[in-house]
Amino acid sequence: MPKLKKDWWKITGGLLVAYSLIAGLSIHVPQLPIIYESIRNLFYHVSMWFTMTTMMATAFIFSIKYLRQPLAKTDTAAVQAAAVGLFFGFLGIVTGMMWANFTWGKPWTNDPQLNGAATAILVYLAYFVLRSSIDDQEKKARVSAVYNIFAFVLMLVFIGIMPRLAEHSIHPGKSGNPALGVKGLDPTMRLVFYPAVLGWIMIAFWIWKIRIRIKTIHQKIAEL
């Protein structure tokens, strides 16, 4: 049984996501042309990206920490955070393609936001390729920590800055789109959207913790 003192945030994460599923489907949403009821995807699709960004920020922090004080467990924390982040990034891409297919008519448009997201994912895939190509543990940790710092900055540029600088983007929340940005978000939708983001982040942190523990068990066994 979970211990409340230690595990409260796991339960809270679960409750928040469950709330967002129930409330997200049952509240009344503004009926906007083209998207209509699919506006509810905002609660689920956009949460994936917020969660990915949070996990990548975590990986970034632990990579800096590793460079300041090289400990194996810090390296593990950084890699596992990036792995969970990548997973949520994939979910974001796939759910976004599904949504796009029904609103823009095709799963992929050459939009700066979409291409930026895809590039950010590739940048992180390269991180794992880089890691698997170095055998020496310390060298692997050090080189990949340096790369990860670049990767995080690149991700912010690709999904946060470039799409906003672009002349035109059909993706909401960016330049040239009147439909719906997070700033112009309907107040009732905020009441579902923010808890959803928070809940998913807690779930992601939980998965991250479990991954770290499994990896630590692996390392201990390897040392036997």
Partner 1 sequence: MLTNKLFVVIGVITLIFIGLFVYLLFLDRKTQRLEKELDELLKKQSKNT
**Nearer to partner 1 by C-beta: 6 or 106?**
6
Structure-block tokens of residue 178 = 């009147």
Taking CA atoms, 67 is separated from 73, 75, 82, in Å, by 12, 9, 16
How far apart, in whole angstroms, are the C-alpha atoms of residue 112 and residue 79?
28
**Nearer to partner 1 by C-beta: 123 or 192?**
192
Give the count of beta carbons closer than 10 Å to the beta carbon of residue 14: 14
The answer to whether 51 and 200 are in contact (CB under 8 A) is yes
**Nearer to partner 1 by C-beta: 104 or 206?**
206
Site string for partner 1, 54-93 (x = CB under 8 A): ----------------------------------------
Amino acid at 83: A
210 binding partner 1? (CB under 8 A): yes
**Nearer to partner 1 by C-beta: 92 or 173?**
92
Length, in residues, of the chain: 224
214 binding partner 1? (CB under 8 A): yes
Footprint (CB under 8 A) of partner 1, residues 9-38: 10, 14, 17-18, 21-22, 25-26, 28
